[in-house]
């Protein structure tokens, strides 16, 4: 049981983003800003020349901001900041899923990239239908596996055999998030394969 929990935790951490990149960016900006403000304050207390702007200048600039800027500019800047804030909150609160999935496994946590699954499904479909490379395209995303098959002109396609092969393959993976299989056969055939 304890082993299970540990594996689940590893899978969870590997398939979800740690949000370290936005955190690093935000922390760096905050660090520089606070250090700069502290430095300016000290310079102001010692009556030295300010680096960029003294606290008094900063205060005056902030107070005069609505009077000196046209209202439309203020609103536009506010909308920009608002969107940025929503994006930051979104990354913080959202699921933060990465394009990876876990495979069923007893001993260890196994996490596979979605494009590895897509490539494997494509090649399996190709083998099952006897098609050439490039005639099958697979998209793995969210909760679906979409397979797009382009049949060879004049050669009938056994959809049945494709779907059974696909189902067997996906069942063998035992993915932690169930996926819906969706096979689409294009009307246009490939010539001369």
Q: Which residues contact 161 (CB under 8 A, 6 or more apart)?
A: 128, 129
Residue 73 engages another protein in binding (rule: CB under 8 A): yes
Which residues within the stretch 81-110 sit at the binding site for another protein (CB under 8 A)?
81-93, 99, 103, 105-110
Q: Which of 50, 53, 54, 120 contacts another protein by CB under 8 A?
A: 120
DSSP, residue by residue, 39-62:
HHHHHHHTTPPPSS--HHHHHHHH
Q: Does 58 bind another protein (CB under 8 A)?
A: no
- 3-state SS string for 1-17: CHHHHHHHHHHHHHHEC
Q: Bridge-partner residues for 185, per DSSP?
A: 149
∠ CA 160-166-172 to the nearest 5 degrees? 140
Shortest spacing between CB 192 and another protein, in angstroms: 18
Q: How far is the CB of 71 from another protein (least distance, A)?
A: 4
Interface with another protein includes 51 (CB under 8 A)? no
Is 185 an interacting residue with respect to another protein (CB under 8 A)? no
Least Cβ distance, residue 162 to another protein (angstroms):
16
Does 59 contact another protein by CB under 8 A? yes
35 versus 159: smaller Cβ distance to another protein: 35
In DSSP terms, 181 is beta-bridged to 145
Q: Which residue among 8, 38, 182, 186 contacts another protein (CB under 8 A)?
A: 38
- Residue 130 in contact with another protein, rule: CB under 8 A: no
Q: Which of 7, 53, 157, 165 binds another protein (CB under 8 A)?
A: 7
User: Could you identify the residue written with the tokens 């600039």?
Assistant: 61
How far is 149 from 181, CA to CA, in rounded Å? 13
According to the binding rule CB under 8 A, does residue 115 interact with another protein? yes
**Which residue, among 102, 100, 121, has the nearest Cα to 182 in the 3D structure?**
121
């Amino acid at each position: 049981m304890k082993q299970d929990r540990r594996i689940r935790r590893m899978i969870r951490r590997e398939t979800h983003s740690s949000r370290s990149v936005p955190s690093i960016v935000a922390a760096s900006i905050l660090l520089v800003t606070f250090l700069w403000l502290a430095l300016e304050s000290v310079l102001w207390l010692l009556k030295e020349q300010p680096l960029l702007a003294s606290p008094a200048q900063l205060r005056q600039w902030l107070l005069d901001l609505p009077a000196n800027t046209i209202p439309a500019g203020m609103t536009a800047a506010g909308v920009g900041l608002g969107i940025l804030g929503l994006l930051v909150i979104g990354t913080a609160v959202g699921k933060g899923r990465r394009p990876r999935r876990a495979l069923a496994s007893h001993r260890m946590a196994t996490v596979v990239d979605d494009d590895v699954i897509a490539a494997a499904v494509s090649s399996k479909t190709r083998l099952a239908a006897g098609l050439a490379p490039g005639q099958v395209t697979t998209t793995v995303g969210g909760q679906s596996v979409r397979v797009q098959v382009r049949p060879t002109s004049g050669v009938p396609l056994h959809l049945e055999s494709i779907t059974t092969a696909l189902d067997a393959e996906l069942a063998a993976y035992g993915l932690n998030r169930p996926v819906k299989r969706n096979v689409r056969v294009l009307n246009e055939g490939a010539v001369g394969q």
